[in-house]
Amino acid sequence: MSVSEYQFLDKIFDDLFPICRSISGPGLEASIAYISQFMPLTVTKVTSGTKVFDWTVPPEWHFKRARLWGPDGNLICDSDNCNLHIVNYSEPVDTEITLEQLQPHLHSIPHLVDAIPYVTSYYHRTWGFCLSHQQREQLSAGTYRVKIESHFDENGGVPFAQTLLSGESEREILLSSYLCHPSLANNELSGPLVLIGLYHRMLRWPRRRFSYRFLLNPETIGSLCFLSQHHQHLQQHLEAGLILTCLGGPSANLRYKASKRGDSLFDRYIGQLADKDDWRMEPFTPLYGSDERQYCSPGFNLPMGQVAKTVYGVFPQYHNSLDDKAFMDMDSVIDSINQLEQLLLSAEISGKALNLKPYGEPQLGKRGLYPNINTPTNRRTSSDQLLDGRQELNAILTILSASDGNTYMLDIAKRLNLPLASLRQVIEKLEQHQLIRFNTGETL
């Protein structure tokens, strides 16, 4: 981690955190526009009222401010102080009501007395305020003033934003995160921060075997809007993908939720890492999670998994005001970037390779890959190499023998009883000498 990278992401967090985002509207669009300073995003907006599979794109929510005054005239809730105070997608209200009438519109968390909950009502018109349970318990009988300044635009829409880092192949890795929550840290901004960090890391890679698509969208409806326009392209070109969520909490290891298919590059590779306790891995389930539920639905069944660190639903700060910068440590975000970059680098060499000189063993000596004088003194390479001379030669011969276009390099590494990362230099040498080529879906 560099100091400049930390400061870069830290400032992005500070600038994005106060914005009141939702699944549509000015807050979301301002956030996408801000992030486009750091990634060249192309924005598509699907118009309100559009049928998207079994869903209808909702009207665009324009929210200005929400305030609640008590019987004594004192201000109890003000969204200018905390945008979690408003039930997201609340309809406009300007009225006076009793405490008894107000209570059904109030939300708090009894077991977290100081936390302000995050509550939404996207597809059912209502209104409400969120406040700490301690504050709610102190409300007294009387007449309350409610003022919610909002409106709905039937001609608005739901946006999604994407960019593509082209590689040597048209086969794609999709990296996606959601952007739709207001001031939440781990459960909102950690995913986009990791996405931005990975984009800048990968810009510096000397080569990319795959192409990488980066996607930001509001959760659920945004991914459905994206799929409605791009599912055929994904069916043809998607190698594997990851939904990035909750990547800034205090947990040490990343948790991977497999795709429903269970056969993607990430499913295979992380399955082996999990055997060595480097990752946690869970099977696919539609009961909890994020946009992987849409990608893995039966009509698409795409090879999309999900990766998280401090996982949604299991930390007390989930969906409330305690999920702030103090909980989401920036060092943890950068650690997630580091781990995911290594995962992607390994995924680049974990697929199926084809031996381009398959008739007998190619002459390795003339390529400097086999000792022309075979003595005990030349069987070990310099000490800075990952593999000694005999290991490297064994790896070369085994890779060439097994590279039939149908065998994963990951399985070849397992056969050699070596970590896949330790084979990177050998694989690159074989590619440089045009002895193997990865089968990334095109005609070889």
What confidence tens digit (pLDDT) does each residue in 147-160 have? 999 999 999 999 99
The whole-chain average pLDDT of the chain stands at: 93
Measured in residues, the chain has a length of: 444
Contact yes or no for 86/130 (Cβ under 8 A)? yes
Strand 129-130 relative to strand 106-107, pairing: parallel
Question: Sheet holding 436-439: strands in order across?
Answer: 404-408, 352-355, 436-439
Res 274: pLDDT: 77
Residue 443: pLDDT over 50: no
Res 313: pLDDT: 83
Res 358: pLDDT: 95
Which amino acid appears at position 342 of this protein?
Q
pLDDT tens per residue, range 403-431: 999 999 999 999 999 999 899 999 999 99
Tokens describing residue 434: 């045009």
Res 371: pLDDT: 75
Res 198: pLDDT: 98
In angstroms, the Cα distances linking 167 to 172, 181, 203, 207, 444 are 9, 32, 11, 7, 17
pLDDT tens per residue, range 66-117: 999 999 999 999 999 999 999 999 999 999 999 999 999 999 999 999 999 9
Question: In terms of pLDDT, which residue wins out, 384 or 10?
Answer: 10
Contact yes or no for 245/179 (Cβ under 8 A)? no
* H or E element, residue 354: strand 352-355
Which of 206, 215, 121, 198 has the alpha carbon at shortest distance from 162?
A: 215
pLDDT band for 2, please (50, 70, 90 cuts). low
State how far the Cα of 377 lies from the Cα of 16, in Å rounded to an integer. Answer: 60
What pTM, to 2 d.p., does this model score?
0.93
DSSP label at residue 175: E
Res 252: pLDDT: 83
pLDDT tens per residue, range 125-146: 999 999 999 999 999 999 999 9
Question: Sheet holding 172-178: strands in order across?
Answer: 42-47, 157-165, 211-217, 172-178, 238-244, 304-308, 255-257, 280-282
Res 380: pLDDT: 42
Taking the C-alpha atoms of 218, 223, 229 and 234 in order, what is their torsion angle to the nearest 10 degrees?
Answer: 140
Return the number of other C-beta atoms located less than 10 Å from residue 398's C-beta. 17
Res 3: pLDDT: 65
pLDDT tens per residue, range 193-228: 999 999 999 999 999 999 999 999 999 999 999 999
Res 386: pLDDT: 61
Percent of the chain with pLDDT over 90: 88
* Mean pLDDT on 271-286: 86
pLDDT band for 340, please (50, 70, 90 cuts). very high
Q: Please give the class, per CATH, of domain 60-153.
A: alpha beta
pLDDT band for 51, please (50, 70, 90 cuts). very high
Which of 348, 347, 389, 340 has the alpha carbon at shortest distance from 369?
A: 389
Res 370: pLDDT: 85
List of E strands, 179-221: 211-217
Res 374: pLDDT: 52
* H or E element, residue 10: helix 3-16
Res 124: pLDDT: 96
Res 379: pLDDT: 44
* Mean pLDDT on 44-53: 98
Mention every residue, 6+ apart, whose C-beta is less than 8 A from residue 426.
387, 392, 395, 396, 399
Strand partners, 21: none
pLDDT tens per residue, range 345-391: 999 999 899 999 999 999 999 999 987 655 554 444 333 346 877 88
Q: Comparing 3-38+157-343 with 60-153, is the CATH topology the same?
A: no
State how far the Cα of 385 lies from the Cα of 188, in Å rounded to an integer. Answer: 41
Q: Where are the domains of the chain?
A: 3-38+157-343, 60-153, 352-439
* H or E element, residue 387: none
Res 251: pLDDT: 86
Burial label, 432 (beta-carbon count in 10 A; 0-12, 13-18, 19+):
exposed
State how far the Cα of 441 lies from the Cα of 444, in Å rounded to an integer. Answer: 8
* Mean pLDDT on 314-332: 94
Which of 206, 171, 195 has the alpha carbon at shortest distance from 41?
A: 195
Helix (H, G, I), strand (E, B) or coil at 338: helix
pLDDT band for 440, please (50, 70, 90 cuts). low
Q: Helix H segments across 327-408?
A: 330-348, 389-402
Res 168: pLDDT: 93
Which amino acid appears at position 397 of this protein?
L
pLDDT band for 235, please (50, 70, 90 cuts). very high
Res 44: pLDDT: 98
Topology of domain 352-439, per CATH? Arc Repressor Mutant, subunit A (1.10.10)
Which of 188, 305, 326, 327 has the alpha carbon at shortest distance from 255?
A: 305
Q: Is the dihedral of CA 196, 198, 204, 207 positive or negative?
A: negative
Q: Please give the class, per CATH, of domain 3-38+157-343.
A: alpha beta
